[in-house]
Each structure stands twice: as C-alpha cells, then as structure tokens.
Amino acid sequence: MKKLHRTRPFLRAYGLLPHRLLGAATRTLMRASRPRWAVRAAIRWWIRRGGIDVSQCAEQSWPTLEAFFLRRLRAGARPLGAGFVSPADGLVVGTGPIEQGTILQVKGSPLRLGRVLAARPEEVAALAGGRYVTIFLTPDGYHRLHMPCDAEVAEVRWIGGRSFPQNVDALRVIPRIYERNERAALRCVAGSGAVFWLVLVGASLIGGIELAGLQRAAWARPRGFAWGRRFKKGDELGWFRFGSTVVIAAPKDMLEGTCDFAGAAVRVGQRLG
C-alpha cells in the first residue's frame, strides 16, 4: 500500500498547504540539538531506513538532523570520471533532447525551458539540439553538489516559487513542478566557451538552496547575481537542506551518453557525457 504522502489525493491537495509555514516548522525540528538522545535515535532510524553507508562519511557523529543531512563524504569516496560528470548523487528521472525550447517531466509533461531557466529566447535557442538531464536527490542521499567540469558560474538567477515535493509520484500528479518551485538557475561557461545550465530546484518542507561561499541574501533576489567564480571539476558548488532536484541543460556534445541513464541511480563524479 502506498504511503499517504505519496497518494494522488494527498498530492493533488498539496498546493493548498502553507508551504512556508511547513518549511519553517521543519527547519526548527531539523536544527534542534536537544534532547540529545532523541536526535541520536532519529539519526540511527534514518540510517537504517535508508540503508545509508556511513563509512563513506567524513564524520560519524552529528549534533542535529540537519547536520546529518548535510554530511560530507570522506576524501576519495566519489572519484571523478572522464568528461562531463554528475554533479549529484540521485536518480535520473528524465533525460533527452531539447526540442522546440522544451524538456519533459515524468509521463511526458512538457516544460518550457525558458521558464525553468529564467532564460531569454536567445539563450534557449542556443541550447537547441542539446540535451537535458534531471537528477532527483532523495532525502536519504548525499545532498551536496559538485561542478561537473571545469567552468565559471557566470550568473545566478533566483526564481521564487512554491515547495512541491519532487518524488516520482508527485511528478506524475502535480503539473510543471520545475516551473513552479523555487530555484536557482546557474549559467555556467566551460573552458571551451560552451554555455551550460545547472538549475537547483527546491523541494517540499525545508527545500533550502545554498551556494558555496555566498550568503543567500547576495543571490536570492529578483535581479540576477553576477557571480563570476571559477570552479574546478569536482569542486563543491552548493547544497540542499533536504531532498531536491538538479536539472542540467547543455549543448549536445557535452551530454552525448545520457540517453542510457534514464531511471538509473548516478553518483557525484560518474561520467554523464
């Protein structure tokens, strides 16, 4: 039997819930460090529930549930493959060609790429014939993001929005989630000059998006933020405070092999193209 929070009636009604209030309440719970026994018990339960391999973690003790969800990996736990690699651990819930300025959500629901990226028509046109990959970060997984190739993040575009869940059941029931949830669209320029995009999509409950070395107030504003920071392949780029999604949109030559990944689990550093 499907759990209540993944049933069609619950998901259809999710838009009526107070997303910001739910997020604030969840953040308070996740950041509580007392009673210590309860925090430890909750972390042990989550490890068992998700089958999480904590031997890969850089630390083995966490003061809060939030600290556990933002755990770091030990050095070498995610070796870097050749080419353009996955920026996150997660499940590939969508991949395919970019056609007529659209990408597809689960069950073939079309999404306007210009709205997902907050991009101008000429920026969308430059991606024609390219490919996209959508990676869902599960609540059980590793929530930090890494740069998929040597590149500069030229600009961050913040798009305010809701906090709908993004599991596969939600994508089948709630239309256009990636156009409606809060997100940060990162316009990246590779060493070759090719422009690709990483879109960090906030999810239900906490859903917080953070960028490495930046305060949210610097970039989470209606006008774009010119970052201009260079990253090496594999460098930490940011993190999510709970499960969420990354949408990659790139020229075709960068993501040649991604058609083989639909439905697959991928890890940071795994080659995508």
Residues marked active site are found at 89, 146, 244
Sheet of 236-240, strand order: 144-146, 236-240, 209-211
Strands (E) located in 61-150: 90-97, 102-104, 110-112, 131-137, 144-146
Q: Reply yes or no: is the peptide bond before residue 87 cis, omega within 30 of 0.
A: no
H-run or E-run covering 247: strand 244-250
| CB count in 10 Å sphere of residue 146 | 24
Token code pair at residue 4: 């209540």
- Please state, in angstroms and rounded to a whole number, the distance separating the CA atoms of residues 176 and 163: 12
Q: How many residues appear in the chain? A: 273
- Sign, CA dihedral 16-20-72-273, equals positive
- Please state, in angstroms and rounded to a whole number, the distance separating the CA atoms of residues 70 and 205: 15
Task: Residue 257: name the closest of 92, 90, 117 by CA.
Answer: 92
- Please state, in angstroms and rounded to a whole number, the distance separating the CA atoms of residues 153 and 241: 21
